Amino acid sequence: MNLQLLFSGFSTGIIYSLIAMGMVLIFRSVGIMNFAQGEFLMFGGYFCYMFNRLLDLPIGLSLILASICMGFVGVVFMRTSYWPLRHAESKAIIVSAMGASIALKEGARLIWGAVPVTVDRASEGVVNIGTAVIMKQNIAIIVIAFMVMVLIYLLLEKTFIGNIMQATAQDQYMASLTGIPVIVSIGMTFAISAMITGIGGGLLAPLFFLNNTMGTTAGAKAFAAIVIGGFGSVPGAIVGGIIVGLVEAFGGAYISSTYQLVLIYVVLFIVLMLRPQGLFGEKIQEKA
């Protein structure tokens, strides 16, 4: 077992988990798949770059500020590309999200330029365990992502706001009858989703360079994670993301580095053949 690969795979995987979690939160809340989630990752990374490199703030503060900015982006995204279309066909929502994804991609290019950039590591240096050399950044990613996940769990399960959001996700009409402002609740879901994905972008940036097209590939991988984990399940998204990250790291090292994405989709199809509802999913009967 290669410990080095295990750690790097696990840390990239947990970032896919963050994207996948963001997608699942939105999916559970409003029943649409967000095609621009990968762009949130890219945007979060760029915000982090802006605070960290252009304004010279420490990386910890940059991450927090970037995630707050992403919250606003999430709300704006929801208000412009989901809310006006909430009664439209799913086709229209998909296309509108595609439009938003293009706009975000190009917006990032126009604001921050097309040259790949990077940000500071959350933690410099390496740790030696036996023969393996592990970057501290990988450990930092795992720790921070884990903290974010715990925070989201507490927010959703233990607080009043979380209850409001869950109620809206279950039945919007009923929630509005009990006096919940549905638009605020959905806006908050989008904001939280964008925030956790944005933090992922800031954490990923030191490992891979940031560019404005990174979102599409990351989004496709996160999607694979969701399907592997089981649709609509948050633990499933987390486990799926980690599986995707590990497959990518080990497959890249031992099988072929050019066809990493192919490998991920092979795993996806194996999972779908053996367990069509995903690892954590429940079998849902199609409704007429």
Say whether 124 sits in a helix, a strand or coil.
coil
Task: Assess 116 for contact with other proteins (CB under 8 A).
Answer: no
Name residues whose C-beta falls within 8 Å of residue 115's C-beta, 6 or more positions apart in sequence.
none
Task: Assess 147 for contact with other proteins (CB under 8 A).
Answer: no
Alpha-carbon gap, residue 99 to 60, rounded angstroms: 32
- Smaller CB separation from other proteins, 180 or 266: 266
- Smaller CB separation from other proteins, 107 or 235: 107
The one-character DSSP state at 282 is: P
Among 158, 174, 269, 282, the residue binding other proteins under the rule CB under 8 A is 269
Using DSSP bridges, classify how beta strands 132-135 and 126-129 pair: parallel, antiparallel or unpaired: antiparallel
Interface with other proteins: number of residues (CB under 8 A): 47
- Smaller CB separation from other proteins, 3 or 92: 92
Burial bucket for residue 164 (CB in 10 Å: 0-12, 13-18, 19+): buried
| Residue 4, token pair as written in the block | 């080095």
- Smaller CB separation from other proteins, 148 or 268: 268
Q: How far is the CB of 131 from other proteins (least distance, A)?
A: 31
- Contact between 38 and 211 (Cβ < 8 Å): no
Alpha-carbon gap, residue 18 to 145, rounded angstroms: 7
The stretch near other proteins (CB under 8 A) out of 138-146, 156-164, 174-182, 214-222 is 214-222
- Contact between 135 and 9 (Cβ < 8 Å): no
Which amino acid is located at 10 in the chain?
Answer: F
Backbone angles phi, psi at 142, to 5 degrees: -60, -45
Task: Assess 274 for contact with other proteins (CB under 8 A).
Answer: no
Binding to other proteins by CB under 8 A, coded x per residue (else -) over 2-41, reads: ------------------------------xx-x------
The one-character DSSP state at 210 is: B
Task: Assess 255 for contact with other proteins (CB under 8 A).
Answer: no
Backbone angles phi, psi at 115, to 5 degrees: -75, 130
Among 166, 261, 275, 279, the residue binding other proteins under the rule CB under 8 A is 261
Q: Which of residues 228-247 bind other proteins (CB under 8 A)?
A: 231
Among 55, 61, 92, 133, the residue binding other proteins under the rule CB under 8 A is 92
Q: How far is the CB of 234 from other proteins (least distance, A)?
A: 17
Beta bridge partners of 126: 135
Contacting residues toward other proteins, per CB under 8 A: 32-33, 35, 80-81, 84-85, 88-96, 98-107, 110, 216-217, 219-220, 223-224, 227, 231, 258-259, 261-262, 264-265, 268-269, 272, 276, 286, 288
